[in-house]
């Protein structure tokens, strides 16, 4: 069931983009280097660019349809969740691999629950809950 308005998804997008940029620092593995560090930073930039380009309330360029944005979110979230195993850093301490798994699953679930068309206001969201 798609209950999350696109504006709420947009707010989460921008927050997630910044969190991803600083994820290695937040969880204390920035000195590790390699894929564990560059994957979240690269995807943080991708997330912010995609958010700016998406045709939703918080988009600036409004050229990327919301359905395509959500499709990208599905693919990237799965990649992010399994990247510790794909890139060989799953054997590191839990503070290194767990954020990838948790955020990947969370983004996938939020994307599944996000409406596919912009324009649903928060007031409409509250009354439908």
Q: Where are the domains of the chain?
A: 6-118
Signed CA dihedral, 50, 52, 56, 60: sign only: negative
- Among residues 24, 67, 66, the alpha carbon closest in space to that of 44 is found at 24
Per the CB < 8 A criterion, the answer to whether 59 and 52 are in contact is: yes
Q: What percentage of residues in the chain have a pLDDT greater than 90?
A: 91
Render pLDDT for 89-112 as a digit per residue (tens, 0 to 9): 999 999 999 999 999 999 999 999
Per the CB < 8 A criterion, the answer to whether 8 and 122 are in contact is: yes
Tell me the average pLDDT of the chain: 94
Instruction: Please tell me the pTM assigned to this model.
Output: 0.89
Q: What would the DSSP string read from start to end of 7-24?
A: HHHHHHHHHHHHHHHHHH
């Amino acid at each position: 069931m798609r209950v999350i308005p696109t504006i709420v998804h947009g707010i989460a997008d921008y927050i997630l983009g910044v969190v991803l940029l600083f994820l290695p620092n937040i969880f204390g593995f920035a000195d590790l280097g390699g894929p564990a560090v560059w994957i979240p930073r690269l995807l943080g930039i991708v997330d912010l660019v995609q958010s700016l380009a998406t045709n939703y309330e918080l988009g600036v360029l409004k050229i990327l349809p919301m359905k395509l944005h959500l499709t990208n979110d599905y693919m990237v979230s799965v990649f992010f969740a399994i990247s510790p195993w794909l890139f060989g850093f799953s054997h590191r301490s839990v503070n290194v691999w767990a954020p990838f798994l948790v955020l990947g699953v969370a983004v996938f679930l939020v994307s599944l629950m996000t409406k596919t068309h912009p324009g649903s206001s928060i007031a409409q969201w509250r009354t439908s809950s």
